[in-house]
Amino acid sequence: MVHDSFGLGCWAYGLADEGSEAERVATDVIRAAYDRGVRHFDTAQGYGDGRSERIVGAALSGLEDAGIATKVGLLSGDETPAAVQTSRERLGVSSIDLFYIHWPKNDVDPRPMLDALERERAQGTIMRIGVSNFPVAELERGSEVARIDVHQIGYSLLWRYPEQDVIPWCREHDVEIYSYSSLAQGLLTGKMPRRPSFEPGDPRPATVFYDDEVWPHVYGAVNEMNEVASQAGIRLHHLALHWLLRSGVSRVLVGARNVDQLEDNLSTFSEGPSDETLAALGRISDGAHEHIPDIGNIFKYYP
219 assigned to active site: no
Model confidence over 56-85: pLDDT tens digits?
999 999 998 999 999 999 999 999 999 999
Question: Taking the model in full, what pTM does it have?
Answer: 0.94
Which uninterrupted H or E stretch holds 266?
helix 259-266
Inter-residue contact 30 to 55 (CB < 8 Å): yes
Q: Could you count the other beta carbons within 10 Å of the beta carbon of residue 136?
A: 14
Q: Could you count the other beta carbons within 10 Å of the beta carbon of residue 221?
A: 23
Q: How sure is the predictor about 200, in pLDDT bands with cuts at 50, 70 and 90?
A: confident
Model confidence over 90-131: pLDDT tens digits?
999 999 999 999 999 998 999 999 999 999 999 999 999 999
Distance from C-alpha of 175 to C-alpha of 18, rounded to nearest angstrom: 37
What is the mean pLDDT of the segment spanning 198-223? 94
Torsional class of 175: left (φ above 0), alpha (ψ -120 to 50), beta (otherwise): beta
**The total number of residues written for the chain in this structure:** 303
Strand partners, 129: 99
Q: Could you count the other beta carbons within 10 Å of the beta carbon of residue 27?
A: 17
What is the mean pLDDT of the segment spanning 199-210? 92
Question: What pLDDT score was predicted for residue 42?
Answer: 98
Model confidence over 130-158: pLDDT tens digits?
999 999 999 999 999 999 999 999 999 99
Higher pLDDT pick, 295 / 271:
295
Inter-residue contact 43 to 89 (CB < 8 Å): no
Question: What pLDDT score was predicted for residue 12?
Answer: 92
Where are the domains positioned within the chain? 6-185+236-272
Distance from C-alpha of 128 to C-alpha of 121, rounded to nearest angstrom: 7
Look at residue 280 and give its three-state secondary structure: helix
State which fold the 6-185+236-272 domain adopts.
TIM Barrel (3.20.20)
Inter-residue contact 100 to 70 (CB < 8 Å): yes
Give how far Cα 111 sits from Cα of 77, 118, 286, Å.
Answer: 8, 10, 36
Inter-residue contact 9 to 255 (CB < 8 Å): yes
Distance from C-alpha of 191 to C-alpha of 189, rounded to nearest angstrom: 5
Candidates 13, 47, 155, 178; catalytic one: 47
Does residue 296 carry a pLDDT above 90? yes
Model confidence over 230-289: pLDDT tens digits?
999 999 999 999 999 999 999 999 999 999 999 999 998 777 899 999 999 999 999 999
Q: Percentage of residues in the chain with pLDDT exceeding 90?
A: 92
